[in-house]
Amino acid sequence: MNITHKQFGTTKNGEEATIYTMTNSKGMKVSVTDFGANIVSIIVPDRNGNFADVALGYDDIRGYENNKPGFGSLIGRYANRIAGASFELNGKVYKLQKNEGENTLHGGEPGYNRVMYETEIFEEEDMVSVELSRLSPDNEQGFPGNLDITVTYSLTENNELVIEYHAVSDKDTIVNLTNHSYFNLAGHNSGTILNHKVWINASKFTPTDNNLVPTGEIRDVEGTPMDFRTLKRIGENINDNYEPLIQAGGYDHNYVLEINPGEVTKVAELVDEASGRVMEVFTDKPGMQFYTSNMLSPVKYGKDGAEYGLRAGVCFETQHFPNACNIKTFPDSVLRAGQNYNYVTIYKFSTR
């Protein structure tokens, strides 16, 4: 196993970005950059040993400086949506940036995926890692507390991409970090993911209002198009006449994961039968946003000259529930001063 690095370009602010590539003995490669802690590529074999990049993204720093879809992105301070761009904590109301109508989406500016991170490299016999860290200052994006953030990307000999999130604040705050990679197991430039099959270990999901903010209801998937408890083709029900699908233009919903608190559990599986590639998702987070890139406007300058269109990728964003800071019946997303925020998500690749 090894890690190599090279220049990835210069930002508009004159910062020199670096791309780090981790490779295991089986030939799997994962590349990340210190600009935005973005995952740039994930290269894995199909059942015949042919390698392809299964993560949508860009070839250079210019793409990631814009990156409206959030390809490969570390998202924070609070991933997903916060209703009314505000929340109350310890009797004080905090006003956030309204960047999606009246709501806040993915924390606001500066986006965690568009700032520089300090980097350390770790190499072990069966795992190599890139650790990226920065201080999110008090009141950045409107959130309280100086938040020390570390995200560590590791590649194992078992073809696992392990993402470890760590944060600690000097004030009570809310934190919800995730990764926003778009996966296409047929290859990043191969068209839609509608023929991919998905399994999700969840019997409930959180319906939303028309602005895609959870209402507080927790609804059974039984008898609905939201049921992925048996492996099912993404396109099978995506256009059904069902209000949550109509509101979102497809799947863009938080699933209530069936995990034991504190235990890393398998929560999802993505299968491309044509290539034989399989991706399993493991986490100890309570929720996961299943998103079929319904709002992906044509991206004309993707990697290798690719143009990414509607439903070109699928996201599995492990998370606290969206708007949990305003819905007290949801699992708590408050991080108390001095406490540690520690979560893990694993994307494991194989073939069948």
Catalytic residues: 180, 317
| Residue 140 neighbours by CB under 8 Å, 6+ apart | 77, 110, 147
| 297 dihedral zone (left: phi>0; alpha: psi -120 to 50; beta) | beta
Alpha-carbon dihedral 133, 137, 143, 145, rounded to 10 degrees: 90
According to DSSP, the residues that pair with 289 across neighbouring strands are 254, 317
Please say whether the dihedral angle defined by the alpha carbons of residues 306, 193, 278 and 186, taken in this order, is positive or negative: negative
Write down the residue that tokens 């996961």 correspond to.
288
Could you give phi then psi for residue 283, rounded to 5 degrees? -165, 165
DSSP 237-297: TTTSS-HHHHHHTS-EEEEE----TT--EEEEEEEETTTTEEEEEEESSSEEEEE--TT--
According to DSSP, the residues that pair with 176 across neighbouring strands are 78
What does the alpha-carbon distance between residue 280 and residue 203 come to, in Å, rounded to a whole number?
Answer: 18
What does the alpha-carbon distance between residue 270 and residue 281 come to, in Å, rounded to a whole number?
Answer: 8
